[in-house]
């Protein structure tokens, strides 16, 4: 009897020595926490870990004890830098959470997280409302079609306004959002919330938020609650047919029906329920967790993702099922001091065990998975097997990089790659000694592998290593890591703008690489059309329209390679070239002397010569900037902005301050934090993010090209 029973509950997998059964797909939620900087993402995630029993003590961002902000640089600065994953359980649902950074310099972390997540909790600050970076992450979530719920945080603070934040979500984000709760204050202290679906009051009984009591809605609030309840139903009806039908025909809907309608419309990405609370005061987290389970999709609820078969180049659907062939996407690479390189993967279909071989369809090679780990911020738990829907760490994959698809050799598939932002700022870095040079080489390689928005180049003219990234803070953190983690002493130049070059005229250019003086010669000849891209931001593209075999097919990839190599350095000042459309239209070859190398060289010559003829210009990054300052400083701040070539877009009142939105060239706002502090006695704040590239005015371009505007003071570390 006993043996039989034991057999029946045979474990399907072992987790760190503990017996665990495989989790049904419907019981999984893969969610991200996204928001403007400082909105309270990490504070909220720490509370989630506490209330789900994952941690026994609440981690505090301000004390540097947050589990999710584990990097020393995060703890010192009180900000999140790297997206951290963890897993917890609420009710019978397993939740994989990724806490993302809000600072725009680390936008790649949001981008890669949204790529693999099934749903998101968007946190808003109840005082700041919909801040610029909230708009950015919202647009990112739109791009990946990620269903979301909203949590308006910091409602304990004076000046916070829950309903106004929802109003801003309508106006600034165009979101079909409505409150499913409203905050409840007693003597101006946030003490609970009123659930608008069931129309009941939930009061917190203790500071830690462990005890809650459900009560009737106080009579004086009934009319407001009824009004908000009706608005909620109306908004859901806009997104859900069944609800619309009930609404139009005046049918009564019960609590369960309303919740089902919310779930359907959230998964369809047509509605955003808005919750409220204060993570710092431990209010609203349990209800947020309920909403994550009730409304956000499981991997089974979403339509299958599409991939391309690399052999046939045809689209194929990847079915979320353990029975389907294995397919996963590597979305992050990190180096752990003990485990070594960890590839974070999201499994879209099938399952795999440690020790098995996988096929990297992006690199077209086989690699062995030596270990599988479940990530808890920077800690790992060893697991034997991963299943569809899981987000885990894989160890042992030497060649696999961010964006690579892992699958089986029999069923190769490529999941659409993610977008990596272009760096806007660069800095020279020189090691002090020979030993430092070796260590720095290793450090730069490892860091670039972890972070696709960080690039390394070598300036042949000056003999300097140049590091490029998304902003001053990004490079500051990279330099700090090079010094501390890799023990490198280095000198760094002042941060400089990463300019770009482009062309303004359509031309035809010819490139010849012909050497025929005795022995085996070289013969490459290409004719290309070069024109400005219609859409800025498209980058350099290559198309081939060769007629009647003027260039044999086998040499076309070399032509493309030659062009992309040459595009790394422009005609004016050697900055990378962007937004040029190249069409290969003609050329010729020699039966014996033509080689891949000869065509690569010929293409590079055609491109470089063409650039000079096509009226090249210099482009600079323009930042979308918001300065929030008290009314009395408006004149000073605007005056200063005007002296920085800023174009002011809007000035809006916000609570008791004003928000100025402007486009400013990055070159004009280095170290703006210090400037703004002294202009406003520390009473203003600002955020900015790269928005687009624009032509540098000619008098400034001349100075940059002649080298006058780009010398930077050296800093030594
Ligand atoms: N008063 C109040 N302060 C809060 C609340 N939630 C977070 N904070 C504070 O806001 C600051 C930022 O909180 P974080 O949790 O680090 O914010 P974040 O969104 O993770 O920030 P980044 O990851 O750097 O973008 C900290 O000082 C928190 O203590 C809240 O509900 N009320
Ligand atoms: Mg954070």
CA pair distance 115, 435, nearest whole angstrom: 39
**pLDDT given at position 7:** 32
Residues facing residue 526 across a β-bridge = 511, 587
Ligand 1 pocket, residue 192 CB under 6 Å: no
Counting from 1 in the atom list of ligand 1, the atom nearest the Cα of 80 is 23
User: In 10 A of CB 662, how many CB atoms?
Assistant: 24
Alpha-carbon distance values, 496 to 241, 316, 515, 711 (Å): 54, 44, 41, 9
Ligand 1 pocket, residue 39 CB under 6 Å: yes
**pLDDT given at position 592:** 87
Pull the structure tokens for residue 182: 């409203």
Counting from 1 in the atom list of ligand 1, the atom nearest the Cα of 46 is 15
129 CA → ligand 2 middle, Å: 17
Instruction: Identify whether the C-beta of residue 36 lies closer than 8 Å to the C-beta of residue 131.
Output: yes
Ligand 1 pocket, residue 157 CB under 6 Å: yes
Of all protein residues, whose CA lies closest to atom 14 belonging to ligand 1?
Answer: 40
Ligand 1 pocket, residue 27 CB under 6 Å: no
Q: Please say if the pLDDT value at position 694 is more than 50.
A: yes
Pull the structure tokens for residue 495: 């941060």
Q: What percent of the chain has pLDDT over 70?
A: 95
Residues facing residue 318 across a β-bridge = 305
Q: Please say if the pLDDT value at position 11 is more than 70.
A: no
SS3 state of residue 111: helix
**pLDDT given at position 657:** 84
Counting from 1 in the atom list of ligand 1, the atom nearest the Cα of 283 is 31
**Residue 276 zone, left/alpha/beta (φ > 0; ψ -120 to 50; rest):** beta
CA pair distance 342, 335, nearest whole angstrom: 6
- 241-248 and 222-239 are packed helices; what angle lies between their axes, rounded to 10 degrees? 130
**pLDDT digits 0-9 by tens, 52-81:** 998 888 888 888 888 888 889 898 889 999
Q: Please say if the pLDDT value at position 2 is more than 70.
A: no
Q: Please say if the pLDDT value at position 5 is more than 50.
A: no
Q: What percent of the chain has pLDDT over 90?
A: 68
Ligand 1 pocket, residue 412 CB under 6 Å: no
Instruction: Identify whether the C-beta of residue 230 lies closer than 8 Å to the C-beta of residue 214.
Output: no
Q: Which alpha helices (DSSP H) does 567-626 contain, by range?
A: 596-613
- Counting ligand 1 atoms within 8 A of each CB, the residue from 48, 61, 285 with the most, and so the one to mutate, is 61
**pLDDT given at position 4:** 33
Q: Please say if the pLDDT value at position 1 is more than 60.
A: no
**pLDDT given at position 173:** 92
Ligand 1 pocket, residue 102 CB under 6 Å: yes
Pull the structure tokens for residue 130: 């919909």
Ligand 1 pocket, residue 63 CB under 6 Å: no
Average pLDDT, the chain: 90
Ligand 1 pocket, residue 278 CB under 6 Å: yes
| pTM summary value | 0.84
611 CA → ligand 2 middle, Å: 44
528 CA → ligand 1 middle, Å: 54
- 556-566 and 596-613 are packed helices; what angle lies between their axes, rounded to 10 degrees? 40
Instruction: Identify whether the C-beta of residue 615 lies closer than 8 Å to the C-beta of residue 698.
Output: no
For residues 13-42, give the mean pLDDT.
Answer: 76
Confidence of residue 182 (pLDDT cuts 50, 70, 90): very high
278 CA → ligand 1 middle, Å: 10
> How would DSSP label each residue in 349-398?
ES-EETT-EEEETTTTEEEE--EEEEEETTEEEEESEE-TT-EEEEE--S
Q: Please say if the pLDDT value at position 226 is more than 80.
A: yes
For residues 368-389, give the mean pLDDT.
Answer: 91
**Residue 331 zone, left/alpha/beta (φ > 0; ψ -120 to 50; rest):** alpha
H or E stretch at 196 = none
For residues 617-621, give the mean pLDDT.
Answer: 94
Could you tell me which residue, 175 or 418, shows the higher pLDDT? 175
**pLDDT given at position 709:** 58
Q: Please say if the pLDDT value at position 519 is more than 50.
A: yes
207 CA → ligand 1 middle, Å: 18
Instruction: Identify whether the C-beta of residue 369 lies closer than 8 Å to the C-beta of residue 355.
Output: yes
Ligand 1 pocket, residue 155 CB under 6 Å: no
**pLDDT given at position 15:** 38
Ligand 1 pocket, residue 41 CB under 6 Å: yes
Pull the structure tokens for residue 2: 């006993």
Q: How many residues does the chain have?
A: 717
For residues 627-631, give the mean pLDDT.
Answer: 90
78 CA → ligand 2 middle, Å: 8
Ligand 1 pocket, residue 280 CB under 6 Å: yes
Ligand 1 pocket, residue 124 CB under 6 Å: no
Ligand 1 pocket, residue 83 CB under 6 Å: no
**pLDDT digits 0-9 by tens, 589-614:** 998 899 999 999 999 999 999 999 99
Q: Please say if the pLDDT value at position 440 is more than 70.
A: yes
**pLDDT digits 0-9 by tens, 230-239:** 999 999 999 9
Ligand 1 pocket, residue 402 CB under 6 Å: no
**pLDDT digits 0-9 by tens, 106-144:** 999 999 999 999 999 999 999 999 988 898 899 889 989
Q: What angle do CA 373, 377, 382 make, to 5 degrees?
A: 15
Burial class (CB in 10 A: 0-12, 13-18, 19+), 121: buried
Q: Please say if the pLDDT value at position 248 is more than 90.
A: no
Ligand 1 pocket, residue 594 CB under 6 Å: no
Which listed ligand is nearest to 39 at the C-alpha?
1
Q: Please say if the pLDDT value at position 701 is more than 60.
A: yes
Counting from 1 in the atom list of ligand 1, the atom nearest the Cα of 281 is 31
Q: Please say if the pLDDT value at position 16 is more than 80.
A: no
CA pair distance 213, 205, nearest whole angstrom: 7
**pLDDT given at position 273:** 98
Counting from 1 in the atom list of ligand 1, the atom nearest the Cα of 45 is 15
Positive or negative, the CA dihedral 232, 238, 240, 246 is positive
Of all protein residues, whose CA lies closest to atom 4 belonging to ligand 1?
Answer: 280
CA pair distance 616, 538, nearest whole angstrom: 17
Ligand 1 pocket, residue 62 CB under 6 Å: yes
Ligand 1 pocket, residue 42 CB under 6 Å: yes
Could you tell me which residue, 94 or 56, shows the higher pLDDT? 94
440 CA → ligand 2 middle, Å: 29
Q: Please say if the pLDDT value at position 10 is more than 80.
A: no
Instruction: Identify whether the C-beta of residue 614 lies closer than 8 Å to the C-beta of residue 530.
Output: yes
**pLDDT given at position 655:** 67
Of all protein residues, whose CA lies closest to atom 21 belonging to ligand 1?
Answer: 38
Lowest mean pLDDT among 101-105, 197-201, 708-712: 708-712
Identify the DSSP state of 301.
G
Q: Please say if the pLDDT value at position 3 is more than 60.
A: no
Q: Please say if the pLDDT value at position 8 is more than 60.
A: no
Which listed ligand is nearest to 103 at the C-alpha?
1
**pLDDT digits 0-9 by tens, 264-312:** 999 999 999 999 999 999 999 999 999 999 999 999 999 999 899 988 8
């Amino acid at each position: 009897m006993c043996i039989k029973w034991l057999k029946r509950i045979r474990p399907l997998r072992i987790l760190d020595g503990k017996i665990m059964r495989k989790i049904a797909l419907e019981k999984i939620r893969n969610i991200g926490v996204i928001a403007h900087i400082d909105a309270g993402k990490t504070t909220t995630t720490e509370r989630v870990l506490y209330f789900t029993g994952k941690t026994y003590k609440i981690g505090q961002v301000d004390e540097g004890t947050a589990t999710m902000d584990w990097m020393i640089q995060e703890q010192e600065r009180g900000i999140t830098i790297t997206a951290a994953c963890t897993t917890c359980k609420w009710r019978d649902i397993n939740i994989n959470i990724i806490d993302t950074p809000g600072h725009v310099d680390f936008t790649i972390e949001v981008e890669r997280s949204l790529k693999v997540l099934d749903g998101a909790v968007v946190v808003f600050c109840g005082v700041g409302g919909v801040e610029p970076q909230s708009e950015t992450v919202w647009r990112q979530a739109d791009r990946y079609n990620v269903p979301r719920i909203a949590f308006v945080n910091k409602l304990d603070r004076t000046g916070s306004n829950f309903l106004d934040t929802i109003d801003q979500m309508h106006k600034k984000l165009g979101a079909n959002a409505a409150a499913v709760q409203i905050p409840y204050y007693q003597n101006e202290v946030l003490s609970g919330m009123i659930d608008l679906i069931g129309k009941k009051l939930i009061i917190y009984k203790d500071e830690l938020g462990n005890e809650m009591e459900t009560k009737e809605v106080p009579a004086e609030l009934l009319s407001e609650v009824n009004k908000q309840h009706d608005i909620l139903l109306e908004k859901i009806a806009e997104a859900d047919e069944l609800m619309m039908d009930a609404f139009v025909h005046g049918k009564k809907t019960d609590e369960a029906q309303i919740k089902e309608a919310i779930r359907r419309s959230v998964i369809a990405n047509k509605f955003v329920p808005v919750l409220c609370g204060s993570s710092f005061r431990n209010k609203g987290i349990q209800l947020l967790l309920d909403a994550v389970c009730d409304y956000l999709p499981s991997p089974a609820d979403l339509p299958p993702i599409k991939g391309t078969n690399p052999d046939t180049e045809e689209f194929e659907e990847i079915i979320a099922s353990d029975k389907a062939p294995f397919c996963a996407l590597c979305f992050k690479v990190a180096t752990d001091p003990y485990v070594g390189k960890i590839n974070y993967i999201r499994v879209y279909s099938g399952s795999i065990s440690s020790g098995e071989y996988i096929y990297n369809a992006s690199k077209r090679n086989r690699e062995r998975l030596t270990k599988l780990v479940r990530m808890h911020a920077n800690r790992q738990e060893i697991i034997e097997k991963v299943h569809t829907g899981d987000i885990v760490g894989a160890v042992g994959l030497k060649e696999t990089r961010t964006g690579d698809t892992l699958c089986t050799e029999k069923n190769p598939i490529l999941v659409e790659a993610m977008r990596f932002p272009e760096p806007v700022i660069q800095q020279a870095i020189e090691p002090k000694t020979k030993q430092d040079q070796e260590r720095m080489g290793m450090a730069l390689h490892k860091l670039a592998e972890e972070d696709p928005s960080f690039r390394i180049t070598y300036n042949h003219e000056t003999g300097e290593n140049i590091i490029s990234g998304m902003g001053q803070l990004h490079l500051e953190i990279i330099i700090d890591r090079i010094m501390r983690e890799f023990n490198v002493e280095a000198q760094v130049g002042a941060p400089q703008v990463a300019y770009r070059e482009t062309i303004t005229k359509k031309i035809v250019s010819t490139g010849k690489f012909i050497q025929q003086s005795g022995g085996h010669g070289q013969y490459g000849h290409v004719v290309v059309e070069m024109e400005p891209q219609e859409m800025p931001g498209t980058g350099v593209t290559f198309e081939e329209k060769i007629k009647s075999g003027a260039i044999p097919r086998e040499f076309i990839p070399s032509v493309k390679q030659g062009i992309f190599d040459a595009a790394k350095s422009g005609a004016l000042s050697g900055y990378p070239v962007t937004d040029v459309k190249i069409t290969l239209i003609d050329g010729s070859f020699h039966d014996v002397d033509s080689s891949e190398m000869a065509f690569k060289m010929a293409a590079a010559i055609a491109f470089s010569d063409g650039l000079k003829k096509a009226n090249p210009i210099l482009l600079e990054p323009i930042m979308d900037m918001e300065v929030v300052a008290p009314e009395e400083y408006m004149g000073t701040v605007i005056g200063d902005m005007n002296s920085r070539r800023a174009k002011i877009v809007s000035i809006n009142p916000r609570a008791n301050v004003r928000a100025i939105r402007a486009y400013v060239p990055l070159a004009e706002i280095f170290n703006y934090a210090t400037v703004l502090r002294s202009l406003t006695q520390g009473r203003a704040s600002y955020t900015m993010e790269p928005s687009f590239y624009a032509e540098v005015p000619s008098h400034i371009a001349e100075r940059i090209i002649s080298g006058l505007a780009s010398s930077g003071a050296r800093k030594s570390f």
